[in-house]
Structure 1
Amino acid sequence: FFFKFFYGYVIFLSFSKCDKYRKGIIDGSACSSLCDKETLYMGRCLSTLPNNQVEDGDALGEVAHYELGEEPEPRREAPVFDKPTRGTSVEKFREMVFNHLKSKLGEQANLASLVSQILSVADGNRDGRVSLPEARSTWALLQMDEVLLGLLLQDRGHTPRLLGYCGDLYMTERIPYGPLYGLSLPWPLASWVPSGVQRTVDQWFTPSWPRKAKISMGLLELVEDVFHGTYGSFLICDVAAARFGYTDRHELRLTDTRAVVPEDEFRRAMRALRCETDADCVYGTDCRTSCDPSERRCREEPVQPNLAKACGALKDYLLRGAPAAMREELERQLYACMALKGNAGQMNMEHSLILNNLKALLWRQISHTKDS
């Protein structure tokens, strides 16, 4: 297991969470184990991000090992657990959650079922009702986009499973292998290693080719599922290897859901962005639009769909060690995929054809192996 938590160090955070729990301010499925039974406890710090701390957690003697995170970011203030207010009914809380999801995801037909799923998670002690401390904790968690998006993608197995929470601290399934390939260097060292050298070294630390193909299939399936998915379309705005990991069964997991943004939110952000050149129209790391010179505002349409960016991330990874009999065809398909332009919604047929052909090519190579 590992803990992800925000806004403080281990000792301070553990004390403050348990203090709030004992005062009846917060609650959650992990609070009792963390604060009463002491069967869960924090271990060493595994991330240098002050507002996105990752902690080694121990549960009943099982120890997990992680690597350091990335460069520090400014710390944010801790949330105040004051919503919903005392006297709020479950129906009113359901409406609060619904409106929050609507503001994040836009008008979606399945929002009501998502609200029910979240209320089920909120019932941490499984007594059939959501208490005020549980509701306040859930509301605080929902303010974190990565938790919300993790819940959206969880049913398809693309993200680590949420195992428990206490206030705005949450525990997820441990993903043993990450990043997707290469070594995750501590941020002071990483800044001194030239990117070309890093890319070369990265290729030395990868699984066998059939296993790489299976992991790559997982990324292609993630792209497929966030494109016109159950709760709308999403853009993957950072496809760096560090955002992904994989399990013992070589199944891909998106370990940093902050890389994913609802398309509605992306479009709103770009509409509000003033620009002089296309270089001003960037969201995150990999999501770009073009600048409208007449209005000096960024256009809404992304320049590249998720699939093109995913293929770019997989090109060197898949071509290195690929079977000779299919290498030329694989390279051709990857370059055709990387050449995709514009919003995938405008080119459904071409997008689907390239995606299906690439998945079929990989599957033919690994379907008969034990890695499939």
Structure 2
Amino acid sequence: MARLSYMRIKYLFFSWLAVFIGSWVIYVRYNSYTELCRGHECKANICDKYRKGIIDGSACEGLCSKENLYFGKCLSTRPNNQKYLGIWGNLEGVIKCQMEDAEHIDFGSELEPRKEIVLFDKPTRGTTVQKFKEMVHSLFKTKLGDQGNLGELVNLILAAADGNKDGHVSLPEAKSAWALLQLNEFLLMVILQDKEHTPKLLGFCGDLYITERVQYTSLYGISLPWIIEVFIPHGLRKRMDQWFTPSWPRKAKIVIGLLEFVEDIFHGPFGNFLMCDISAKNFGYNDKYDLKVVDMRNIAPEKNLKELIKDRPCEVDADCVYGTDCSTVCDQSKKRCTADITQPNLAKICLLVKDYLLRGTPSEIRDELEKQIYSCIALKAATNNMEMQHSLILNNLKALLWKKISHTNDS
């Protein structure tokens, strides 16, 4: 009888403990979700400004009046960068919205600081279209450098800002465009709007914007429930990521697209852009295995980035890192960061795809492919003939991969 009572007490204790732990986990997860996923706040803020006539854009009516633009699954990873799957009529897209409480520059995590404390305060009432064009031109000059073709980019922006396509940009549309131009991703989408690897801009309202949805949203990897993720060793997790990938010819086609995107942003028509967060989750692909960049917020204009990082106080090179993957050297004599980026985009991309591409490589090209990938990873930005080496390595890699898959159905 005593043993039975002991067993009952033990059972009740462990049942209570399980309920307590389970409730705590649910509470923590709920708090985390509500902090990360603030789409209702974002919509309320945007629609309030739209109804007051402060902002306008091609998506405002669908979001705030007709209400045929719906927020779906939350994809946010930071509270100030809201990201959701969205449905707009018969279109599927991704909704991105910037919360207004990120006003500081944090080199370690915040790649797109909101530099304007008061959003939608520019341009002011009475600003002419010509004056607005001058404002945009001046912003581009600061971000991209003094290039002769900036006028073309200004015209592209004005065309994108005309949300209702009535032939002129209203003050509310101009306020929306100005807020969006503070974001690197929006600027890149306009610059690369005709490139196949860039997500298409579907619409905007204020600094909320909708891009096309990509079917596969990570270059590789498998999504696991968080409770399982906790108990998997890092090394095993990395190997598992490589198990769940397409066939090798399809991987090769995706990597060719990634190399083409590197070409698009390397000394393009409006300057060089640097990839400052090289993660498999920033690149996806469609059902035809064409590469699509799913997140371009961490790709910054080189000139703008150098201005931000140079002369920053430092003790070691690790103090001169922007984001996770853009770094310069600490000048020990001055204890200041230099402006010379140490590694080009191509080297970082080759490091990202090394294991992905070499796993399952046909034996007849494995040695040559491995040699080219390691040459690519060793590429340094500061060498005298870097641009020539960059072009040579990139073209050789593309040629080797394309030669091997050009006769297959996957190409």
Task: Give the TM-score of the pair, scaled to structure 1.
Answer: 0.90
Greater displacement, 35-44 / 228-237: 35-44
1:134 is matched with which residue? Answer: 173
Is contact 2:219–2:281 with CA below 8 Å preserved after alignment? yes
After TM superposition, the structure 1 = structure 2 runs for residues 1-372 of structure 1, keeping only pairs within 5 Å, are: 9-60=38-89, 75-76=101-102, 79-184=118-223, 193-343=232-382, 346-372=385-411
- What amino acid sits opposite 1:205 in the alignment? F
Whole-Å separation in 2 of the counterparts to 1:23 and 1:269: 36
- 1: CA distance, partners of 2:291 / 2:410: 13
Distance change >3 Å, CA 62–CA 342, structure 1 → 2: closer
Residues 82-139 of structure 1: CA deviation (Å, up to 9, x unaligned): 2111111000011111111111111122211111001001100000010111111111
Report the Cα offset of residue 190 of structure 1. 5.3
Deviations 1:188-242 (A, max 9, x none): 8756643322210101111111111011011111112222111111211221111
Residue 35 of structure 1: CA displacement? Answer: 2.0
1:8 to partner: Cα distance: 7.8
40-49 or 226-235, which deviates more: 40-49
Seen in structure 2, the aligned counterparts of structure 1 residues 309 and 188 have a Cα distance that, compared at 3 Å, is farther
Q: Is the 8 A contact 2:93 2:212 kept in 1?
A: no
Task: Provide the secondary structure at the position in 1 that maps to 2:165.
Answer: coil
Instruction: Verify the 8 A CA contact 2:87 2:93 in the aligned structure 1.
Output: yes
**Matching residue of 1:3:** none
Aligned residues with identical type, % of pairs? 57
Amino acid corresponding to residue 276 of structure 1 in structure 2 = E
The answer on whether the counterparts of 2:278 and 2:348 sit within 8 Å (CA) in structure 1 is: yes
Asked if the contact 2:176–2:206 (Cα under 8 Å) also holds between the matched residues in 1, the reply is yes
- Quote the Cα distance in structure 2 between the aligned partners of 1:127 and 1:319: 52
Shift of the 310–48 alpha-carbon distance from structure 1 to 2, 3 Å rule, reads closer
Does the aligned pair in 2 maintain the 1:178–1:242 contact within 8 Å?
yes
Match of 1:4 in 2: none
| Contact residue 68 and residue 88 of structure 2 kept, 8 A | yes
Question: How far off is 1:17 after superposition?
Answer: 2.2
Q: How many residues align?
A: 362
Cα distance between partner residues in 1 of 2:292 and 2:253: 12
AA of the residue aligned to 1:216 = V
Asked if structure 1 preserves the Cα contact closer than 8 Å seen for 2:258 and 2:291, the reply is yes
TM score, norm. by length of structure 2: 0.82
1: CA distance, partners of 2:253 / 2:42: 39
Distance 1:46 1:272, change over 3 A: same
Matched residue SS, 2:274: strand
Amino acid at match of 2:334: E
Q: Which runs of 5+ in 2 are unaligned?
A: 1-35, 104-116
Give the 3 Å change call, closer, same or farther, for CA 208–51 of structure 1 in structure 2.
same
Question: Pairwise CA RMSD of aligned residues?
Answer: 2.6
> SS of the counterpart of 1:154?
coil
1:81 is aligned with what amino acid? F
Q: 1:106 to 1:62 in 2, by over 3 A?
A: closer
Matched residue of 2:73: which SS?
strand
> Per-residue deviation at 1:291?
1.9
Query: What SS does structure 2 have at the residue aligned with 1:42?
Result: strand
Query: How far has the Cα of 1:12 moved from its partner?
Result: 2.9
